[in-house]
Structure formats: C-alpha cells, structure tokens
Amino acid sequence: MTSEQPPTAKRVPHERVHHGDTVVDEYFWLQDKEDPDTVPYLEAENAFTTAATAHLEPLRETLFGEIKSRTKETDLSVPTRKGGYWYYTRTEEGKQYGIHCRVPAADGRMAPPEIGDGAALPGEEVLLDGNELAGDSEFFALGTFDLSVDGQLLAYSTDFSGDERFTLRVKDLRTGEVRPDVIEDAFYGSAWSADGSTLFYVTVDEAWRPYRVWRHTLGTPASEDVIVHEEPDERFWVGVELTRSERFLLVDINSKLTSEVLVIPADAPDTPPRPIAPRRQGVEYSVEHHGHRFLILHNDGAEDFALSYTSVDNPGDWTTLIEHQPGTRLLQVDAFSGHLVVSLRRDGLTGVRVVPLHGAAPYDIAFPEPLYSVGPEANLEYDTTSFRLHYVSMVTPDSVYDCNLDSGELTLRKQKPVLGGFDPARYEQHREWAIADDGTRVPISIVARAGTPRDGSAPAVLYGYGSYESSMDPWFSIPRLSLLDRGVVFAIAHIRGGGEMGRRWYDEGKLLAKKHTFTDFIACAEHMVKAGWSAPERVVARGGSAGGLLMGAVANLAPASFGGIVAQVPFVDALNTILDPSLPLTVTEWEEWGNPLEDPEVYAYMKSYTPYENVAAVPYPPILAVTSLNDTRVLYHEPAKWVARLRVASPGSEVLLKTEMGAGHGGPSGRYDAWREEAFIAAWVLDKVGKA
C-alpha cells in the first residue's frame, strides 16, 4: 500500500424493512449514477488504485508483452461452409477487433480452404470489419451476426457503450450497401424468413428482460414492426432462432425452471406461432427440427434429460429416442440429415455421442487426455456427414476438428498457435477431489509447471463460479502461461451450483442450498493446502459475476484461507438487488436464489450469506474488485458499496476498486485492452504471492 489515503464514501443512512427486519444501508446513494458524488467517487477510487499499484507498472508491461508475444496477432479461424461460401473471421496485428469474411466454395469441396499464415484468403469478401465499425469508440461489441438463407443479406447489431442495447442494421452483400432499415434498442438474437424478406428480432423491457419478439419486413419503417410474441410473465425471457434445416423459426421462452417453444414456418413468416408443447412448471425443453419430426431434449421425469420426438405436422405426445440415464447429463442435440450428435457430460467431463440413423450403432468420440473439454463448433449445414467440434485442455490449446460421422475419424483443422516456443510437455494437469463438509466429493482441475514441488511452497490461483448450472470446464489460456512459468499453480473448483456433475449438482447449490457453493470452494482451497500444492497465505481466489458473489462470501466465511481475492463484476449486494424487482433481471433470478421479497425464510437465508450484509470487523486478505460503469447485469454500485463498507469495517485491510468507466459486464472490448486488463490482474496476483 502507498501512504496515500483511500477515498471516503459519504454515509447517508437508508432504511430497508422486510419481514420485520430493519436494515440500514449507508451507501444506498451509490445506486444513483446521477448523484453528483457518484462518478467523482468512482474516479477517486480509480486514482487510489492507480497509486496503490504504481509499483507494478513495469511488471504489467512485461506481462502484457508476454501475452502479445505468445499470440499470433494476424490469424484466421477455420472457415465454415454454408451454401456456396466458406465463412471465417480473421485478425490483423495492431487491430483490436475481428474482420468477418467469406470466400466462394468450389462445387463439391467439403474440406475447408488452407488458411496458411493467417492472412486474407484469395477471393476474400469482407462482410464486416469490426475495427472500421468501432472507429474511435472506447467500447465496441457486435451482437447479432446473421446471414439470410441465400447468403445475400447480413443482419448485424452494434453496441458502443457496453449496456447491451444494440442498433440493428441490414447489409446487402450484393451491393455492399447498408440498407435504410434501422432498429434501435435490440437485444441479442435474430432470425431470417426463408426468402429473406422478413427479419425477426428481440427487445428488452425496463428491467432488461428480453420479452418481445418482433417481425420486421425489409423496406418498411421500424414503427410498423409487428409483435410476434410478448411474454407477460416476468420470470421468463425470450429468444428467436432459425433451425439448421432452415424450415422453421423457433421462439424460445425460458425461465430458470420452465420452457416453452413456439414454431413458425420459415416460408410463411406471417403465420401465428404455435406451441410445440405448452409450458408446464418445472419442465424444461429445447427443440431441433429433423425431417418429419421435432426432436425434444427435456427433463420431464428425467433429471439429467432425455431425448424424445414429436410430429412436425401435429405436435403432441413425445416418443422417447434416448432414455434418461442418471449421471449422464444430455446438454444439446444437433440434427443432420443422416446423424444426430448429442453433447453430454458424465463424471465431470464433457463428451460427444454420434447416433447414426441408418443402422450403425451409436458411438462416443474418444479423446486421449484425462482432463479436457469438448463441444460443438459452428455446424451450419444440414446435409453433411462432417461434424465440427472444439477440443481444449489445460495444456492443449484450443483445437478445431472435423469428425467424419460415418467413421468417427477426427481431422485436426487447426490448433490455436502459441508462439515463443510453447511446449505442452513442460506443464502437467491433474484431476483431484476435495471433500466437502457433508462428505460430497468436489472435483478440482489443476494445471502447473511440470515438477512443481508439492511441499506447500508454490503460490496458487483458485478459480470458481458455481451458479446457474454453468460449468467451468477446463480451458487453455495464453495469459495463464505467465503465471505458470513463474511457479503459480492454477486450479478450477468445480463446485455445486454449477453443472459439472449433472443437474443434481446444480440443484444442490441454489436456493436454500446455496451455501454449498461457498463451503465447497473453501473445501477446495483446504485441499490445495493438504495436497501440498500451496499454503493459505499463497492462495489467491478469483471469480466474476456470480463467481464474485462467491468471492465475497468466502472472504467473510474463511478470510484466513486466502492470501488475496480477485472479484470481477461481483454480485456482492445480492440481497438488496433481489429484493428490488425494478432492477435489471431481478424477477427472472427468483427461481435461482429464491424470492426474499415474499418469503421470510429466503430473506433470512440470503441475508446470512450475501457479502455486503456480512462484512465484519475482521482482517480480510487483500481484495481487488473490478467493475464497469455500464454493466447491466451486475450494476457497478454493488462492488462500490461493498468496498466502502469493507474499508470502514476493516480499516487495516487492503481493498482496491477499479471501475472501467466505458465498458459493460465483459470489461474492455478490444483484445489489446483485454490483455492489459489481464496483465493488471496478474501483476496484482503475483505481488500478493511474492512473485512480483
């Protein structure tokens, strides 16, 4: 720490009364972005963080240089076939954003063109250049990128602030001109009618909930657009998509527990949508079109999901195609003319099963490493015998394979290049198991430099999330190499609340079982120490968003178990947020956390674990909180309030707040800016574990 004093937030008592419980929130005022003191306070916090970390500037530059030098800056994705073209994205050295392109496909050629050194391919047509669109904007994000069925029109949307409200436009690829159709405040997702005359899109309500699907006829004003579906139940959100077969438009309606899918013929876009199956509380299902039937992946009487089908012409009863198998969580089905491909997870690992439809036996694709993550890539064509998948481990860079669905043969199309003499043999990965308080075995994925001593001397970063059934499957990271090469062990705690071990794993870490998420993480930290990987003062915990809630909770529960905590866009004021239905996404979250507004048991339970409510006058490990002013998912005021309260309760603890003043939930948008952000965090981590 420097001798400079941190800024002091003004304290304005604000009373909250629920279920007979009165709570005073002295930093409630920070919720008002228009308060004249809010932005200056955040800027003062940024200035303090800059001063407190000034000594790390040389290390940050070194780390940024290492990331940059290991990254092939001019590079090209593996082209994906659709119709008469191969589509791909490439990057150029010195440019922040991707360039979206295509080249004509030779008739009958199913293998993608050679991508060479990553430069533009012969005959390239640039569809969108993110760098040109971004211009001088500090933030830029592309939302929708959606080609019409004939490949002649491109719907795309842009966001220049990070608030995830996009402007949707249409580019005519025959002329290169952007059409006059402009739709403001669109959300993610769109779908074209079969003839390209009609575009479907989504908008959000005041609470940022995607709730309306619209139909726009090209060449008409947006004011004449028609609402196809408006979802009145505030627990549900909507989306829209075109099936791979390009025969149907699907309106997807989901809450945390319940689903409904409406269908519209793609060649008759004015047809009123009809449900494939009406919603039933607690039943989740998704739909894929396949010939004369709709395939339905569902959990009706099937905790880990089963696959059924119903008639396209008269959707009704479901006929089982793949039975429910407890412990094998079915995640997704991709339908092709002659095969089905099922993505699944079992024993804490992902997998891919191929189901031939012409007599051959189903088979699982085998992979050589004991620890990995695999799943589908873009597979745009329906009539194909080739399935593209993505494979990665903690020591194997991201790899793209094409699988011959008839033979199961895998062809490596590309492995992400890692420059600077990277050798995977210099690293080792392990799957270990912690024992939670209730005896549950919790998997941990670990990667370290080969030969790392198991005597407790190494520092470690323990990463966790544990919410929404989202799985933190093993991944490869170029920035992580800078930590590993300095002797830092990196581990992922696959805690309950995530989906790593199936649906029950999720159910045991939500609602009134949420504390399992936190105690599982602490058990993983304790295992890292018992197994000799590290020592408490050298373990840095890291998580973001709902994983930031995890960080705040474990800081309160077990501050002595960590030598530092990195909380990114952290959901640390969860109780106050979930009590306020006017805030973005609150009502849709009640099925994840419970409804403390109506249920006193939920209120008491949430109050017992939410980080802001449980800050105590105890020594905390050093904490770095990172947030964004325009975040619409976890509002900036949550970490700002948390940091202010920590400072008062524990004045001797090192607590830093860094706010991106022009970004959203994902932080900086450009790749170089993102690398600098990662270098900032990595330098702080290395400083806390004595490796700076």
Catalytic residues, by residue number, are: 545, 631, 665
CA distance 186 to 585: 16
CA distance 516 to 501: 14
What tokens were used for 45?
């916090």
Are 376 and 366 in contact by the 8 Å Cβ rule? The answer is no
Q: Helix (H, G, I), strand (E, B), or coil: what is residue 94?
A: coil
CA distance 390 to 400: 5
Sequence-distant (≥ 6) Cβ neighbours of residue 336 within 8 angstroms: 244, 379, 381, 382, 383, 384, 385, 387, 405
Sign of the four-CA dihedral 399, 402, 404, 409 = negative
Are 137 and 161 in contact by the 8 Å Cβ rule? The answer is no
Q: Helix (H, G, I), strand (E, B), or coil: what is residue 605?
A: helix
CA distance 189 to 250: 12
Are 499 and 328 in contact by the 8 Å Cβ rule? The answer is no
Report strand pairing: 564-568 vs 655-660: unpaired
Through-space distance between the first and last CA atoms of the chain, rounded to whole angstroms = 14
Sequence-distant (≥ 6) Cβ neighbours of residue 262 within 8 angstroms: 229, 250, 251, 253, 273, 274, 275, 276
CA distance 436 to 508: 12
Q: What DSSP element (H or E) covers 64? A: helix 57-70
CA distance 2 to 608: 34
Beta strands in 457-574 (DSSP E): 460-464, 489-493, 539-544, 564-568
CA distance 158 to 178: 13
- Residue 54 has phi, psi (to 5 degrees) of -60, -35
CA angle 685, 494, 684 (to 5 degrees): 5
Tokens 């009145």 correspond to 232
CA distance 204 to 165: 9
Burial 234-272 (b: 16+ CB within 10 A, else e): bbbbbbbbbbbbbbbbbbbbbbbebbbbbbbbbeebeee
CA distance 682 to 211: 39
Instruction: Count Cα neighbours of 204 within 13 Å in the Cβ-side half-sphere.
Output: 20
Tokens 């003004």 correspond to 10
Report strand pairing: 539-544 vs 564-568: parallel
What tokens were used for 293?
């039937």
CA distance 389 to 404: 11
What tokens were used for 115?
């991508």
Distances (CA, A) of 152 to 255, 351, 449: 35, 36, 49
